[in-house]
């Protein structure tokens, strides 16, 4: 151990060691906590600190070696120089007060006191406080330390290269990522959890939470989840004369119609607006509807809603025909359907409000529901429906489980409820009676 006649230099070195140790500790925690996405706005502005911080984060394994080397060297220096300096300071103070040299037992006491003081200062100012600062101010800390770390990496490159290569070999032998950054990205569930935690306590937190959940799930949905089924599509042959078209419009009263080449939806060639026909000066004298045809978009059942929305925006086409794997038409999508996947059902003054859920009078826990009801809307009847792994409608799920065409009276048992088909239209389940079991009777 070093013996000091004048411990001033040792105390200065100890102070510098504690400060440097704190800087390296703060740098380590800040680099681990901060994410590249937090730096994007600064990088766009051309801030050199942000650019340097991004490069450091991209090679986290490399620069963690710098912080570890710094922490180790400063800790060793603090123990080698700082503890003797503190001990000598305590020793001289006691001698000055007592007026005589210390005994051997008193000297042991000064060593213990010096060691305790330097340990306390090291833990408090060299470890704990810097960690808390880095956790609360990770972005600012990362910006301040990025350039110095790159400079130190260049100076100590030979030593750091050996440490880096050795650590990679060990990690590979353990079956882990050699870069140590495989867990750096947030999953969809983690992002949703963070957003929910920040909105649930705000005004209208429930509505905001549901909207955020819909937005995040939107990218995982495909055309099949949101399409209007083929059987619900009103279409018109492009070869129909104007008089027949007017009669068709009066019957169906939609604002847009699919046009086909022939009598099958599998031969869809476009769509038309009813207003274009009604405003045409020679509408009733038209021999066909070719001049009123607009291009329609064709998409696959498995295509994501995000891709379809982008394609609609790019081509300025508000309607898409959804095609199955055999090339046949399985349904259609409008830009309104895509928007409803995010904000929920949108109804104008012409839409009929369907009765999705109807409580059966005089029957406890029994409900009559629409076959098109979604898994979210089933929450209204307090049915624990976590068994629905997909986001299909209830009628679709029941049809898949039946494995055949449905019949009125078909029953199905689900965890927490039994379901009975009470209505069918054109081989599609339209109404279902659900009897929900009380929570106390549901078997795990």
- Most confident range (mean pLDDT) of 118-127, 216-225, 340-349, 432-441 is 118-127
Phi first, then psi: give them for residue 43, nearest 5 degrees.
-65, -40
How far is residue 343's CA from residue 354's CA, in Å, rounded to a whole number?
Answer: 18
Q: What is the pTM of this model?
A: 0.52
| Contact by Cβ (8 Å): 319, 297 | yes
How far is residue 424's CA from residue 206's CA, in Å, rounded to a whole number?
Answer: 35
Bridge partner residues of 432 (DSSP) = 369, 421
Question: What spatial distance separates the first Cα and last Cα of the chain, rounded to whole Å?
Answer: 67
Rounded mean pLDDT of the chain? Answer: 81
300-to-80, 107, 341, 395 alpha-carbon distances in Å: 71, 85, 18, 22
Phi first, then psi: give them for residue 256, nearest 5 degrees.
-140, 150
pLDDT at residue number 322: 94
How far is residue 381's CA from residue 367's CA, in Å, rounded to a whole number?
Answer: 8
How far is residue 60's CA from residue 237's CA, in Å, rounded to a whole number?
Answer: 63
Residue 187 above 80 pLDDT? Answer: no
Q: How confident is the model at residue 414 (pLDDT cuts 50, 70, 90)?
A: confident
Domain 223-343: state its class.
Answer: alpha beta
pLDDT at residue number 182: 46
Cα within 13 Å of Cα(225), Cβ side: 21
Q: Which two tokens stand for residue 258?
A: 């699919």
Residue 321, by phi and psi: left (phi above 0), alpha (psi -120 to 50) or beta? beta
pLDDT at residue number 366: 87
| pLDDT over 70, % of the chain | 83
Going by CATH, does the domain composed of 357-441 fall within 3.30.465.10?
Answer: yes
Bridge partner residues of 211 (DSSP) = none
Per-residue pLDDT of 310-343, as tens digits, reads 999 999 999 999 998 888 899 999 998 898 888 8
| Contact by Cβ (8 Å): 26, 135 | no
pLDDT at residue number 417: 82
| Contact by Cβ (8 Å): 84, 10 | yes
How far is residue 302's CA from residue 110's CA, in Å, rounded to a whole number?
Answer: 76
How far is residue 154's CA from residue 36's CA, in Å, rounded to a whole number?
Answer: 23
Residue 443 above 60 pLDDT? Answer: no
How far is residue 385's CA from residue 415's CA, in Å, rounded to a whole number?
Answer: 8
Q: Residue 385: how many CB atoms within 10 A of its CB?
A: 19
Q: Which two tokens stand for residue 358?
A: 């109807």
How far is residue 401's CA from residue 389's CA, in Å, rounded to a whole number?
Answer: 13
Domain boundaries, given as residue ranges, for the chain = 8-173, 188-218, 223-343, 357-441
How far is residue 30's CA from residue 140's CA, in Å, rounded to a whole number?
Answer: 9
Q: Which two tokens stand for residue 438?
A: 């009380």
């Amino acid at each position: 151990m070093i013996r000091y006649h004048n411990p001033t230099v040792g105390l200065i070195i100890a102070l510098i060691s504690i400060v440097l140790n704190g800087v390296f500790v703060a740098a380590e925690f800040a680099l681990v906590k901060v994410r590249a996405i937090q730096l994007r706005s600064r990088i766009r502005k051309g801030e050199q600190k942000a650019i340097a911080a991004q490069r450091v984060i991209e090679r986290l394994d490399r620069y963690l070696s710098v912080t570890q080397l710094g922490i180790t060297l400063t800790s060793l220096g603090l123990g080698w120089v700082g503890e003797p300096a503190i001990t000598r300071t305590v020793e001289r103070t006691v001698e000055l007060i007592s007026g005589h040299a210390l005994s051997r037992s008193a000297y042991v006491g000064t060593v213990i006191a010096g060691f305790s003081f330097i340990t306390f200062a090291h833990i408090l100012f060299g470890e704990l406080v810097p960690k808390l600062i880095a956790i609360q101010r990770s972005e600012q800390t990362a910006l301040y330390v990025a350039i110095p770390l790159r400079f130190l990496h260049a100076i100590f490159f030979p030593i750091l290269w050996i440490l880096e290569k050795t650590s990679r070999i060990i990690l590979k032998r353990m079956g882990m990522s050699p870069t140590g950054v495989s867990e750096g990205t947030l999953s969809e569930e983690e992002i949703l959890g963070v957003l929910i935690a920040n909105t649930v306590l705000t005004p209208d937190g429930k509505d905001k939470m549901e909207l955020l959940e819909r937005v995040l799930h939107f990218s995982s949905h495909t055309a099949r989840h949101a399409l209007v089924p083929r059987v619900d599509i009103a279409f018109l042959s492009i070869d129909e004369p104007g008089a027949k078209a007017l009669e068709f419009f009066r019957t169906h009263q939609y604002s847009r119609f699919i046009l086909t080449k022939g009598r099958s939806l599998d031969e869809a060639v476009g769509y038309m607006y009813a207003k274009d026909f009604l405003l045409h000066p020679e509408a009733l004298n038209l021999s066909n509807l070719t001049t009123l045809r607009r291009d329609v978009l064709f998409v696959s059942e498995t295509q994501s809603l995000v891709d379809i929305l982008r394609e609609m925006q790019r081509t300025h086409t508000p309607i898409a025909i959804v095609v199955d794997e055999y090339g046949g038409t399985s349904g259609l999508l409008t830009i309104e359907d895509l928007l409803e996947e995010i904000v929920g059902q949108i109804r104008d003054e012409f839409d009929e409000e369907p009765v999705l859920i109807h409580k059966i009078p005089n029957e406890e826990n029994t409900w009559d529901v629409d076959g098109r009801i979604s898994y979210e809307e089933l929450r209204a009847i307090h049915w624990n429906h976590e068994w629905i792994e997909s986001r299909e409608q209830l009628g679709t799920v029941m049809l898949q489980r039946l494995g055949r065409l449905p019949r009125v009276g078909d029953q199905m048992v689900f965890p927490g409820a039994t379901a009975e088909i009470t209505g069918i239209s054109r081989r599609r389940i339209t109404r279902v009676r659900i009897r929900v079991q009380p929570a106390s009777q549901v078997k795990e």
